[in-house]
């Protein structure tokens, strides 16, 4: 699919069928994620991939009920949890070619472990559209982060960004509410030209 068409079509879908996604498609989603850029090419990320019914059943209790948990959301045959690993970045920038001899977090002007893993997550969302599938990115309930880590054996220094469902859109999926386009911020409000506060 044309790149611009993928960008235009991508939106969060919360209603799926249980139609399977081929393992090689899952591999392409992950391969795209691994092509994300990263500060210092640190690649401080990991991806927990849940494709067995039993594994996905273990996952859903950690997701906020009010926001995302609909029965058809849980039919999606693929759940991917992107995880950011800050320690990789602190170690990377302590290497000699970066010229920093300590691992101080203050060296970092922004938390690239989250930013880069977010970019990898977007590549999963976009690649799903390119594969004719749909996807949704959603948060994990904050007070469920610790039990979620325990359930899946995730070390404390890996921070989950949330979950990504991938699958086939349910045929009766509600159309995107007009409110979404109405609420989209336009360039006139968020683009500043030459100086902050100068628009147009």
Please state, in angstroms and rounded to a whole number, the distance separating the CA atoms of residues 90 and 19. Answer: 42
Smallest distance, Å, CB 72 to a second copy?
Answer: 19
Smallest distance, Å, CB 73 to a second copy?
Answer: 16
Please state, in angstroms and rounded to a whole number, the distance separating the CA atoms of residues 175 and 15. Answer: 11
| Residue among 171 and 183 whose Cβ is closer to a second copy | 183
E strand or H helix at 163: strand 163-167
Smallest distance, Å, CB 124 to a second copy?
Answer: 11
Please state, in angstroms and rounded to a whole number, the distance separating the CA atoms of residues 129 and 123. Answer: 10
| Residue among 22 and 67 whose Cβ is closer to a second copy | 67
SS3 for 134?
A: strand
Stretch of 14-22, 45-53, 68-76, 165-173 lying at the interface with a second copy (CB under 8 A): 45-53
Smallest distance, Å, CB 75 to a second copy?
Answer: 19
Contacts of 30 (CB under 8 A, 6+ apart): 47, 49, 80, 124
| Residue among 87 and 119 whose Cβ is closer to a second copy | 119
Subset of residues 72 to 111 that bind a second copy, contact rule: CB under 8 A: 84, 98-99, 106-111
| Residue among 71 and 96 whose Cβ is closer to a second copy | 96
Task: Describe the crossing of helices 23-33 and 112-130 by its angle, rounded to 10 degrees.
Answer: 140
Stretch of 14-22, 68-76, 119-127, 168-176 lying at the interface with a second copy (CB under 8 A): 119-127
* Residues touching a second copy, count (CB under 8 A): 85
Smallest distance, Å, CB 7 to a second copy?
Answer: 6
Interaction mask 47-66, a second copy, x per CB under 8 A: xxxxxx--x----------x
Q: Are strands 163-167 and 78-84 parallel, antiparallel or unpaired?
A: antiparallel
SS3 for 135?
A: strand
What per-residue string of b and e applies to 161-183 under the rule 16 or more CB within 10 Å gives b? bbbbbbbbbbeeeeeeeeeeeee
Q: Is residue 171 close enough to count as binding a second copy by CB under 8 A?
A: no
Smallest distance, Å, CB 168 to a second copy?
Answer: 19
């Amino acid at each position: 699919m044309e790149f611009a068409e993928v960008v235009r079509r991508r939106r969060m879908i919360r209603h799926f069928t249980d139609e399977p996604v081929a393992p090689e498609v899952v591999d392409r989603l992950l391969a795209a994620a691994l092509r994300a850029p990263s500060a210092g090419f640190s690649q401080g990320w990991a991806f927990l991939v849940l494709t067995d019914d039993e594994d996905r059943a273990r996952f859903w209790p950690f997701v906020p009920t009010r926001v995302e948990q609909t029965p058809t959301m849980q039919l999606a045959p693929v759940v991917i949890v992107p995880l950011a690993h800050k320690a990789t970045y602190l170690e990377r920038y302590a290497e000699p070619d970066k010229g920093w001899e300590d691992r101080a977090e203050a060296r970092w002007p922004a938390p690239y472990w989250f930013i880069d893993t977010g970019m990898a997550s977007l590549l999963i969302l976009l690649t799903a559209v390119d594969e004719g599938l749909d996807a949704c990115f959603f948060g994990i309930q904050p007070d469920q982060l610790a039990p979620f880590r325990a359930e899946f054996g995730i070390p404390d220094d890996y921070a989950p960004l949330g979950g990504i469902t991938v699958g086939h859109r349910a045929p009766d999926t509600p159309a995107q509410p007009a409110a979404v386009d109405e609420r989209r911020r336009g360039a006139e409000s968020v683009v500043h030209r030459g100086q902050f506060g100068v628009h147009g």
